[in-house]
Amino acid sequence: MVDLIWLFPILPASSALILALFGRRYLGEKLSSSIAIASMLANVVLAALTLKTVLGMDPESLPHTVILYEWITAGKLHVNMAFMVDQLTCVMLSFISFVGSLVFIYSTGYMHGDKDYIRFFTLLSLFAAAMFTLILGDSFVTMFIGWEGVGLCSYLLIGYYMDKNWAVDAGKKAFIVNRVGDFGFLLGMFIIFWQTGSLTFKEVFHAAPTFSTGLVTAATLCLFLGATGKSAQIPLFIWLPDAMAGPTPVSALIHAATMVTAGVYMVARCNPLFAIAPATMMVIACVGAATAFVAASIGLTQRDIKKVLAYSTVSQLGYMFLGLGMGAYSAGIFHVFTHAFFKGCLFLCAGSVIHGMSGEQDMFNMGGLRKKMPITWITYLISCFAIAGIPPFSGFFSKDEILWKTWESGNYALWFVGVAAAMMTSIYMFRSLILTFHGKPRADHHTFAHAHESPLSMTMPLMILAAGATLVGFLNVPSAVWPGMMRFEHFLAPVFEHGSEAGPAAIVEAVEHHSFGMERILMMLSAGIGLTGLVIATVLYSGKWQARTTRIAQAAGPLYRLSANRWWWDDLYNRLIVEGTKATAIVALLFDQWIVDGVVNGTGRVARAASAQLRRVQNGQVQAYALAILVGVNITILLLLFR
């Protein structure tokens, strides 16, 4: 089956082409969405068969490359249109195709009746094709094609409501911010090609030991800049919360399970390069920890249910990069895997609530929906347990592994930041649960009276994702709990063997020399943090919570304003970049008007004035011309006489 991996991008791309050409005129809504869903379900089957084949192959024969044709030949640059598959690719293909299929099915109910229903499924299919290209590419060039493809589709889907200025602005913001990161990605590619003469992963990684420390640090920092854009890390995370302007299924697919994990995947894929750049690894860890903390602190005060989940996504991505920076590549990818289930479920639950509440997104105008929407409530609750890191739900196993690797590496400050972010995560997620589903209804009577559970096409994906959020954590149970059950890490070990051997200096023989006793203590602490957050949220937001939280906000003062105003990141960027660009443009305009145009226009004015005087001589009178000739002759004679 591995020789058929080229079908992964081809199937959804074909679906997008068919829908674009024939959907509106010949196919209609139902058939169009069925074609899109069928392409994703076919990829689910293909992913399962590919995984089965890879499990039966000799790890030494991986990665397996399928070359379709020779693509680019320019001087020393030779790039094939080729796809490759290994253990890491299998993991990504499995959950992207599976979660993607559920989102496609969910969208049939959520988007039913939308005037651009077919365009929506066309863009979803095109996005899936680009994402599979990114994952399967065997070179930086092929990866970059998919990288830019998901960026384009993200822009189109975020700005899907083209008649809404706020949606269009959000799409442009996402597109522009991502271009900043992509500039870094390109610089990293240029440095790598300059050093190795190749952009194919296999050849670049083979030549990695020949890199000088400075060069590999520069290349990896540039690549990481690309990752901060795509995966919403400080300083390029500001686009993701605004990306909630798109339909909720877009948030679930692109901004929870697939596109935003592209940066994490890229760093993990390039682990032979990053592992020999310890300075870059520490930068990744610090940026990841800072992003997790900042985004979690912002999530504490948001009112919009989708904004809470957006900042939650940014925070969880920070955890993934913290794990990668510690050299715990498998732990970071495992959190990507579990996150796809519980965050996809949370976003789809939010969509179900918005659908049932006639478009309302402010949690302060909800409440009391538990009995109105029981399936949405129980699946949201399960996903909250998972993201809060409460055992035995999946988020506990993946998040705890990252925190344990951070502690074991000796970076206690980063561990503390991660723990603080975990506490805030538990608080704001259970806050969203209580405000949305519990307490007395705060919506207007008409809206609450018509609130209802979503149809089966929407609730069925919720139940499947909630089951995944409950069970998939058992794929990587820590050895301190159940020896021999870290199957996920063992499966990925061949991909990360080089990175593990040459990890940052701060990592001290993590696998061979650690205390199971200390790991168990930290696991209990991690579980306790999740439960403590649940208790705090319950105390703060039950009963007469409005007066209580108002007093806390007043007591917190600057800290509350810092969170509510999102640390003023957008204001800072508006002042420095937007207003700075406008000021520079004004200066450039004045320079253009007074200097550039002034020189050109001034030259013209001088020529015109001179010509005006010369025109007086050419007056058409013969007498004047004869007089001029006589004067000239006399002057000439005088010059000859007195020479």
Over residues 353-372, the pLDDT tens digits come to 998 888 888 898 888 899 89
Whether 414 shows a pLDDT value over 90: the answer reads: yes
The encoded tokens of residue 65 equal: 């490359």
Average pLDDT of the residues in 224-234: 92
Whether 256 shows a pLDDT value over 80: the answer reads: no
CA dihedral in degrees (47, 52, 57, 63; nearest 10)?
20
| Weakest mean pLDDT among 143-147, 220-224, 540-544 | 540-544
* Buried-exposed string 360-375: b where 16+ CB fall within 10 A, e elsewhere: bbebebbbbbbebbeb
Whether 400 shows a pLDDT value over 60: the answer reads: yes
CA distance 281 to 24: 49
Average pLDDT of the residues in 310-325: 93
Residue among 316, 372, 319, 374 at smallest CA distance from 344: 316
Whether 616 shows a pLDDT value over 90: the answer reads: no
Element (H, E) at 442: none
Assign 283 a pLDDT band (cuts: 50, 70, 90).
very high
Number of neighbours of residue 293 by Cβ within 10 angstroms: 22
Whether 243 shows a pLDDT value over 70: the answer reads: yes
Residue type, 634: N
Residues 6+ apart with CB under 8 A from 113: none
Whether 246 shows a pLDDT value over 50: the answer reads: yes
Name the β-bridge partners of 139. 200
Higher pLDDT, 370 or 255: 370
Average pLDDT of the residues in 199-222: 91
- pTM beyond 0.75: the answer is yes
Backbone angles phi, psi at 149, to 5 degrees: -65, -45
Q: What is the pLDDT of residue 501?
A: 41
Higher pLDDT, 457 or 497: 457
Task: Give the distance, in angstroms, between the CA of residue 311 and the centroid of all CA atoms in the same chain.
Answer: 12
Would you say how long the chain is, in residues? 643
The sign of the dihedral angle between the CA atoms of 557, 560, 562, 564 is: negative
| Weakest mean pLDDT among 283-292, 449-458, 474-483 | 474-483
Highest mean pLDDT of the ranges 147-151, 243-247, 251-255? 147-151
Query: What does 35-64 look like in DSSP terms, one character per residue?
Result: HHHHHHHHHHHHHHHHHHHHHTS-GGG-SE
Q: What is the pLDDT of residue 519?
A: 80
User: Tokens 């299919």 sit at which residue?
Assistant: 125
Q: What is the pLDDT of residue 504?
A: 42
Residue among 304, 439, 307, 431 at smallest CA distance from 360: 304
CA distance 243 to 240: 5
Over residues 491-542, the pLDDT tens digits come to 888 888 765 544 443 343 344 445 677 888 888 998 999 999 999 999 888 8
| Weakest mean pLDDT among 38-42, 310-314, 416-420, 607-611 | 607-611
Q: Are strands 64-74 and 77-85 parallel, antiparallel or unpaired?
A: antiparallel
Are 360 and 354 in contact, with CB atoms under 8 Å apart? yes
Are 195 and 215 in contact, with CB atoms under 8 Å apart? yes
